[in-house]
Amino acid sequence: MEKRQLGRTDLTISRLGAGLAEIGFELTLAEEAQAAQVLNTALDSGINFLDTAACYDISEEVIGRTIAHRRHEYILSTKCGHVTGGYEGEAWTAQAVRDSIERSLKRIKTDHVDVVHLHSCDLEVLERGKVIQELQEAKQAGKTRYIGYSGDNEAAEWAVKSNLFDVLQTSFNLVDQRARLRLFPEAINKGMGIIAKRPIANGVWAAPKNPSDYAAAYFERAQAMKAVGPIPLAPENGILLALGFVLAHEAVDTAIIGTRNPRHMQENIARVETALPIASEAVEELRRRFESMGQDWIQLT
């Protein structure tokens, strides 16, 4: 598995990362063995970047119960700021961030994580600065090695320009390309690590019909872009096309994909290791189509 440095940090991460939202939301602790199979398959196959969040239900606890003994083998990213998991308090306060980090460390069974992100808070929260200061203090205390912002649009633009964060996690895929136009250039200039979330756009390029309400906007964009005609030299598999598009961008350090299915994890790893890169003509055409019809398409969170 190809690896690269995450921006200006000293973290070396796999180009494909594992997102744990699906494991957290769609499995139960009674299905711990299945979660363990997914995570160990990822680690055994060269993925060393795991991304979770305090609000991904049982995902942090699953890490602690299944792969805590392999902590030295992976780079761990989590997120904080929401009121979740039975916590009583006010979201987006310094106290909520502090308590969230402490709870995450206990759940994951570790004394530190590698990156803690503010989890999609709005611009007003960022401008107040209290939660950013709390992250900085967590970094100084050794509870996290680096701090990041996970989010999109105007708040992400503020986070990048502030020069207060080491890492940016943001939506980027073939139907959601605003980040490469509005975020990537400045983030690269600042030396930020860049993590692409939702890289396969919820699978809409491969889906024959709208798969879910959550992905409805992505599906509509995909249909509009497809209507122009075939993508030159594009692979037939829509998931491969989506992955190939995202990883064709040097700005992206890692693309995170989530699954609760060990077979799907193996398939995604195989695509990255054996079927990439895709043709540059396909990448350029997808860029051209987005720029011609997606000027008003904001990033989806």
Is 30 domain-assigned? Answer: yes
Is 10 domain-assigned? Answer: yes
| Prior bond of 277 cis (ω within 30°) | yes
Token pair listed for 179: 């980040």
- Greatest alpha-carbon pair distance for the chain in Å reads 54
Lowest-pLDDT range, 27-41, 59-73, 95-109, 195-209? 195-209
pLDDT at residue 211 in the model: 72
Work out the average pLDDT over 200-225.
Answer: 88
Is 301 domain-assigned? Answer: no
Is 66 domain-assigned? Answer: yes
Token pair listed for 287: 């860029």
**Rounded to an integer, what distance in angstroms lies between the CA atom of residue 170 and that of residue 196?**
5
Is 230 domain-assigned? Answer: yes
Closest to 220 measured CA to CA, from 198, 234, 201: 201
pLDDT at 61 over 80: yes
**Rounded to an integer, what distance in angstroms lies between the CA atom of residue 140 and that of residue 213?**
42
Closest to 131 measured CA to CA, from 100, 104, 168: 100
pLDDT at residue 214 in the model: 78
Answer for the pair 116, 144: CB distance below 8 angstroms, yes or no. Answer: yes
User: Can you give the pTM of this predicted structure?
Assistant: 0.96
pLDDT at residue 213 in the model: 77
DSSP string, 114-128: EEEEEES--HHHHHH
3-state secondary structure at position 49: strand
Is 94 domain-assigned? Answer: yes
pLDDT in tens, 88-147: 889 999 999 999 999 999 999 999 999 999 999 999 999 999 999 999 999 999 999 999
**Rounded to an integer, what distance in angstroms lies between the CA atom of residue 185 and that of residue 73?**
31
What is the total count of domains within the chain?
1
pLDDT at residue 207 in the model: 84
Answer for the pair 241, 278: CB distance below 8 angstroms, yes or no. Answer: yes
| Cα three-residue angle 142-145-146, rounded to 5 degrees | 130
pLDDT at 210 over 90: no
CATH of the domain at 101: 3.20.20.100
Segments forming the whole domain that contains residue 210: 3-293
Residues whose CB falls within 8 Å of the CB of residue 300, separated by 6 or more in sequence, listed in order: 152, 171, 176, 198, 217, 218
Is 298 domain-assigned? Answer: no
